[in-house]
Amino acid sequence: MNLKDLKNRNIIYDWKTIFVGVQENYFSKDVISDYAVELMEFGDESEFVRELAWGVSSEDLDKVMLEIKTKYFPQLEEESAILVEENRKLRFVCLSEIKERCKEDNELLNKIAEFYGNHHYPEDMVSFVNYMPQEVPTSKEDMVNRLEEFLKLERVRFI
């Protein structure tokens, strides 16, 4: 995923979004530089942003992430409601992308299950994860419909 994916869905983002996105593996470290370049285009000439625009090495990533948090949102704890909401926003974009790319139900449900396992098993996704026990007999079509309903509700939240 990259910043273009957020823009295409009219999702507002800032350093908190970038931080959570890199931390939770929605983005590669390169998005930090992409966002810094974007900020420079909008007139941010701070030394920190200029440095980030040149790129972030893998060795410096932890240090840069700590600097971003310290500089832009030092008061927020890792599990603060604001950062949890940023994660949810990124999850919406990622799941929407998966839904668009997968044309066949089996492929879609397998990709959703993979996402579920790679992102700390979010409880609110259980009803459309194909390997999770369901409360009532459920078909693939039921799960896809639940995913679509979930995305519809999330879209309202972020757009």
Q: Is residue 25 part of a domain?
A: yes
The pLDDT of residue 78: 81
The pLDDT of residue 128: 95
Q: Is residue 96 part of a domain?
A: no
Walk along the chain (159 residues) in steps of 10 and give the mean pLDDT of each run: 95 97 96 98 96 96 97 92 96 97 96 96 95 91 96 92
Q: What is the dihedral of CA 100, 104, 108, 111, to 10 degrees?
A: -110
The pLDDT of residue 137: 87
The pLDDT of residue 30: 97
Picking from 120, 127, 117, 130, the residue whose alpha carbon sits closest to that of residue 88 is: 120
Q: Is residue 79 part of a domain?
A: no
Residue 99: what residue type? K
Answer for the pair 92, 155: CB distance below 8 angstroms, yes or no: yes
Containing structural domain, residue 107: 102-158
Domain boundary, last residue among 53, 72, 91: 72
Q: Is residue 134 part of a domain?
A: yes
What's the domain count of the chain? 2
